[in-house]
Structure 1
Amino acid sequence: MRKDYIRSEDMTPDEKFNAVANLSQKLEDNFITLGELLSDIKRGKLFIFKGYESFKDFIESEYKLSGTLGGKLVQTFDLFIDEMDVDEGTLKDIGFDRLQLIRPLVKKADWTERDAWVDLAAEMPMKDLRAHIKEYKEQSKEDEKDLKKVFVDQYMEKMLAWFNCSRTDLNFKLALYFQDADEESVKKIVKERQRAFETELQTNNEDTP
């Protein structure tokens, strides 16, 4: 990838601090370089030289940037430049705002899907990209619901066979079982098993070619 932005590794901490101050005035034009500088400052904990204990306090006090925005700048550089090695010109054409729309999806996607999301962001206007992402998320939720429904149906079929009863009778038996159960213990078990189930779903999705 052709690197037109500042080589931050050649800069002193003070030069990095000054560069961030100058570049932050035009964030949309400089978000890649800003992201690189802030990433270096955060990773190297250079904010300590300025007397700050956290990166968030540093950027909010020194540059009047919110911690959330600073985090987005860092994550954008780390993901699209440092990890994916996307061309700087492509990212500038897409723009910071559109990159924020796809960043959470790209982060979770496999490499083929990552490139596809970048291509879509480069081609689609903001409005169309938002609509596409909304549709994608809704479809993903439906797919997840379908898998949960399959799990529930399989469980109910097994329980009905165990008790050899109707679904109404099964609900009654389950109510009897849970009547005196410890609420906190049940919640804890359900939470742990739900997390395990959803983690397995995500892992399976990542492994699917």
Structure 2
Amino acid sequence: MPPKTVPPEAMSAEEKFNALANLKDKLEDNFISLGQLLSEIKRSKLYLYKGYENFKDFVEMEYQLSGTLAGKLMSTFDLFIEEMDIDETEVKEIGFDRLQMIKPFMKNADWNVRDEWIHKAEEMPFKELREHIKELKQKEKESNIDLKEVYIEQFWEKMTGWFNCSRKELNFKLALYFQDADLDNIKKIIKERQRLFELETQNKKE
């Protein structure tokens, strides 16, 4: 009769530490359990029990896991198991690497989009999925660049027309304007306007 599996929330602190050590050597087979254990340890701040002030130092020193990898394991468990409630067997069959590839497209997506990505991850060959994602990212990048370039061209046209001068002369005038300006305040204004521009751009795409 196989030994009974104890869920992480029912384990003692030492049992969790030991389970983590046993699972980490076979990451691809155990990434769900690892993510669950790491989430539980971080949430419960059990790293303090081992004398560490923060979770990152704990996983890196005790288990030689990078903080980045630990974060990926936890976020994978949180998104696909906890939030989306996908069957663990299905998640394991998709695999850790594929899940990392599709995760950025799913975090803030609606359920239909999430289901589509799960289907793609299950059905598409790894290389084809990778190329598909690469193309989508490139299109998004080009789209953002194009919109910014349009905005810049509109600015130049407006300003050179207003001052009735060349771009070179306009740069000189702008240099005069910014020479004694409050740069900290300008930086805040630009940051906020850029945020609004990117938000508006994203809404138009959707």
- Give the corresponding residue for 1:149: 149
What is the number of equivalent residue pairs in this alignment? Answer: 202
What does 1:63-142 align with in structure 2 at a 5 Å threshold?
63-142=63-142
Cα distance in 2 for residues equivalent to 1:20 and 1:207 = 45
Please give the TM-score of this superposition, normalised by the length of structure 1: 0.82
Question: Structure 1: which 5+ residue stretches go unaligned?
Answer: none
- After superposition, the CA RMSD in angstroms is 2.8
Which one is further off, 33-42 or 184-193?
184-193
Identity %: 50
Aligned match for 2:169, one of 152, 169, 172? 172
Cα distance in 2 for residues equivalent to 1:201 and 1:55 = 33
Distance 1:180 1:72, change over 3 A: same
Cα distance in 2 for residues equivalent to 1:199 and 1:90 = 39
Spell out, residue by residue over 1:160-202, the C-alpha distance to the aligned partner (whole angstroms, 9 max, x if none). 4423x36xx2431332331573499658735752564245424
Tell me whether 1:14 sits opposite 2:9 in the alignment: no
Distance 1:56 1:106, change over 3 A: same
Aligned-pair CA distance for 1:85: 1.9
- Give the corresponding residue for 1:34: 34
Question: Structure 2: which 5+ residue stretches go unaligned?
Answer: none
Please give the TM-score of this superposition, normalised by the length of structure 2: 0.83
Identify which of structures 1 and 2 has the higher relative contact order when contacts are C-alpha pairs closer than 8 Å and 6+ apart. Answer: 1
